[in-house]
Structure 1
């Protein structure tokens, strides 16, 4: 443990803690006792704030740990995260402004609110809500995994066999996170995102300029990585041929092209189905804010590309770790001066706090609106809704904390793999509903259920050299030996069942639900009739 690095880290962590509690007074409303204020920050964030908030929400601490780790480990499809974060923005440019409009016209707080209102089905809304909560929980847990890796490299993890004592610094960090999220709601991660993203940009830009120059340049880095992977493949040729080890490489071979492409496309389609992504979008003040951010957010993709290359840099720098997720933090410790290493550690840990806060708020809002109010207390007041969300946000955070500390990290990673498979199955109801009312609610529910079951089974049946089940996100496309993303296969079944089911139910004239929306609701903007103009700090939305 280096005293200078720890001191710098502690100072920056204390800074964001103070900002988190001060956020309750930032853009201050009369009260935070409604979900529009506590859960959506007053629905008044502009382009600048939204860019940091949504970017801080999508590009998480685990992203900064896991993406370069996949390249460090030699995964030939590990770079897929970069094209997927490029592909996603034209997609969201098209449909998210429509979701913003109808949500502001009707006061929808969650994507399940929209589904319930569009199809007149509490059951379908419940399915979307439960999927969102279950898919989000392991996502929060993985933020803890990212923080835990940094604390391990810093030397802040105890050698005690007691899991609570061993990870006490992590526990303290999440207690503080829970406290200021409870106090300030979405304003806390929105304000902290400024610090998080600034630190991340500084650290990564310095890293990709300073470290390569220090160790011999990019040509040497790529040559070293390629040589390392070739040596591994030669040494382990028999194990690779027998399926007991996976080959390593820089460029996907032809056999992996569909795997690479399907991972990128499937992940892009799924990203803004996650409730925390929608929460960031619904907190904006107009449709144009969303469009501008869809145009500006690819700047983060550039950053992600640079970050991914640090996996190769770690190989060239001689970083030796048994857990690839430690590669980047260890690289920073080896190559940076202690004070700047402290800045880098803080950037990653703060990079976990922002998305973890937003994810817990989004999951809590789903519980409150689409389970508690829909089925338990239909007459809940706005103040009761806010209080319920505050309490559940604590439960979600500490549930994820206990989950990752008491159980195997592989379990959390496996569930996050399933999270991507699961959350994509809400797309037909959400995105389809934004453009058409043709789908029958029961057909959508049947498609969702079939895809959830089949996708989970396909993921369970995937083996790897180290795991008998949940060994990866890819499986053979039915009837072929071509590897593709499991989520897309399940999504195909979802669409088939939804389309065929709708045709049958329409032919049988089975009653459909009542749609509370109208065509014009999908194009209104701030200032139009029934849509609140930009909020001022003194005029909360009711």
Structure 2
């Protein structure tokens, strides 16, 4: 126990307990007559204004793993692996400004809770809806697990997590997620919405202090960039190639560009991003958030540069097992450079930064299962109360699975599956986003395109090896782009193939006069706003006690 930083641990525990109390008290915040519906438990009553939505989306999208992984990628491999995250978030917000307001309106009008709900209503296809739902559910699971990786990194640097006794070793993690499960179960989406205020405040504070103070300790930014450039140029002992890229060369430009664009297109296809967006009180709230969320991109850019600050500082991210672990670089940098009390604040920012997205992700995954698998396929006559109960239980199961996944398997598996999830989730883009504007694409062609994209993307990802990490399969998300012959993001290649199959298939099916499904939406639905009288007819039963079946 002598290796434990007691002061940092004490600060972490106090702040963690603070947000836990806030999580339980959130059930009283804007409490409706009943929480027994997905609208209230899973979407916060669709009542969050601009600032609450901003903090919620920021807490949802900029996760603990972002805090740990982006600078770790910069530290280990340079700009191609790490800094692409900055331009992709900049490209992302104009995209959601264009389409997310339409999705909000049609979802608000018809009471849709998930993208699969919308696809079911738009194309009249249970099969396509199921494909979108299963893809979203599977892609979210490793994302939740990765939040644990962020907490584990903090605990390791503090000095917890060593030893052979698995109960003592992982007890802090069990306690953290037991508390998370408890207040998420009782408060639903209101809990992460409240906690996000604390999480984002801490992260802004820590990053601004770090970016102002730390470079001065290592000789300024000139020394930081010089140290990073020297490290990236050194040959790696495994393959003799440069360790990384300080500035992406011509051979890496396709990889950088497709990673950025593909990630931008994919991020708001994840169920947790949609859940946070649909909780907004109006379509203009969505547009205002698309305008101000780039403030997080600025912070992300500063955070990424801390990976290079760690190089200049000579940070040695060594785990309690004695092995190098780049995921520890930022917690270790803070531990080495700051007083223990401020290091504790920084560790709390990372740990709380795991709780907010983990809560939203588990709620989103549970809503997806409940609406698009349980209600659609298992119990079509489920009442709003039954939906809420099932979703609460599934959210517990999802968190438990994520905990077991991380504790039972190597952390690299969680990272690999998260990369695979990014490839998968992009394949739902044609059905969801293009469906907001046109029904020309046939439901069967969209399903075929999705299937081909999923198979191609999974196969290509399985074929990628990473000799430096000793991984033979799922070693990365870049591979050769057919025809072009350049290295690029597998998800984008699969996406283009997906679109080609959908378009060609639609032409064939239109010529064959294959039957379309029923479209339950009308043009005006895509412009509906808060207060639309038609909304009340759809949503009102969700706020009342349902009659006995």
What's the TM-score, normalizing by structure 1?
A: 0.96
Deviation at 1:541, TM superposition (A): 12
Query: 1:418 — aligned with what?
Result: 420
Map 1:13-24; keep pairs closer than 5 Å: 13-24=16-27
Query: 2:350 — aligned with what?
Result: 348
Do 1:458 and 1:475's aligned partners in 2 also have CA atoms closer than 8 Å? yes
**Structure 2 unaligned runs (5+)?**
318-323
Deviation at 1:469, TM superposition (A): 1.1
Secondary structure at the aligned position of 2:488 is classed as strand
Structure 2 Cα separation of the partners of residues 423 and 165 of structure 1:
37
- Cα deviation per residue 1:451-479 (whole Å; 9 max; x = unaligned)? 10010000011111121111111000114
Match of 2:399 among 397, 400, 403: 397
Aligned: 1:531 with 2:535: yes
Query: 2:309 — aligned with what?
Result: 313
Do 2:59 and 2:199's aligned partners in 1 also have CA atoms closer than 8 Å? yes
Secondary structure at the aligned position of 2:348 is classed as helix
Structure 2 Cα separation of the partners of residues 23 and 240 of structure 1:
54
Query: 2:321 — aligned with what?
Result: none
Structure 2 Cα separation of the partners of residues 76 and 515 of structure 1:
45
Between 66-75 and 91-100, the greater mean CA deviation after superposition: 66-75
Secondary structure at the aligned position of 2:96 is classed as helix
Structure 1 Cα separation of the partners of residues 28 and 256 of structure 2:
46
Query: 1:117 — aligned with what?
Result: 121
Map 1:430-441; keep pairs closer than 5 Å: 430-441=432-443
- Cα deviation per residue 1:104-142 (whole Å; 9 max; x = unaligned)? 110000110000010111111110000000000000011
Query: 2:464 — aligned with what?
Result: 462
Do 1:360 and 1:393's aligned partners in 2 also have CA atoms closer than 8 Å? yes
Do 1:53 and 1:280's aligned partners in 2 also have CA atoms closer than 8 Å? yes
Secondary structure at the aligned position of 2:240 is classed as helix
Query: 1:336 — aligned with what?
Result: 338
Structure 2 Cα separation of the partners of residues 314 and 205 of structure 1:
16
Structure 2 Cα separation of the partners of residues 57 and 3 of structure 1:
30
Deviation at 1:13, TM superposition (A): 0.2
Query: 1:486 — aligned with what?
Result: 490
Map 1:223-262; keep pairs closer than 5 Å: 223-230=226-233, 232-233=234-235, 236=237, 239-240=239-240, 247-262=243-258
Match of 2:503 among 484, 499, 505: 499
Deviation at 1:493, TM superposition (A): 0.8
CA RMSD of aligned residues (A): 1.5
Do 1:109 and 1:282's aligned partners in 2 also have CA atoms closer than 8 Å? yes
- Cα deviation per residue 1:155-205 (whole Å; 9 max; x = unaligned)? 12131253x432110111000000000000000000000000000000000
Map 1:88-167; keep pairs closer than 5 Å: 88-162=92-166, 164-167=167-170
Structure 2 Cα separation of the partners of residues 446 and 227 of structure 1:
48
Do 1:17 and 1:180's aligned partners in 2 also have CA atoms closer than 8 Å? yes
What's the TM-score, normalizing by structure 2?
A: 0.94
Q: How many residues align?
A: 530
Secondary structure at the aligned position of 1:195 is classed as helix
Do 2:78 and 2:232's aligned partners in 1 also have CA atoms closer than 8 Å? no
Query: 1:447 — aligned with what?
Result: 449
**Structure 1 unaligned runs (5+)?**
none
Do 1:135 and 1:416's aligned partners in 2 also have CA atoms closer than 8 Å? yes
Query: 1:53 — aligned with what?
Result: 56
Secondary structure at the aligned position of 2:507 is classed as helix
Map 1:262-273; keep pairs closer than 5 Å: 262-273=258-269
Query: 2:512 — aligned with what?
Result: 508
Do 1:119 and 1:515's aligned partners in 2 also have CA atoms closer than 8 Å? yes
Aligned: 1:34 with 2:37: yes
Structure 1 Cα separation of the partners of residues 171 and 162 of structure 2:
8
- Which consecutive segments of 4 or more residues in structure 1 shift more than 3 A? 539-542
Deviation at 1:215, TM superposition (A): 2.1
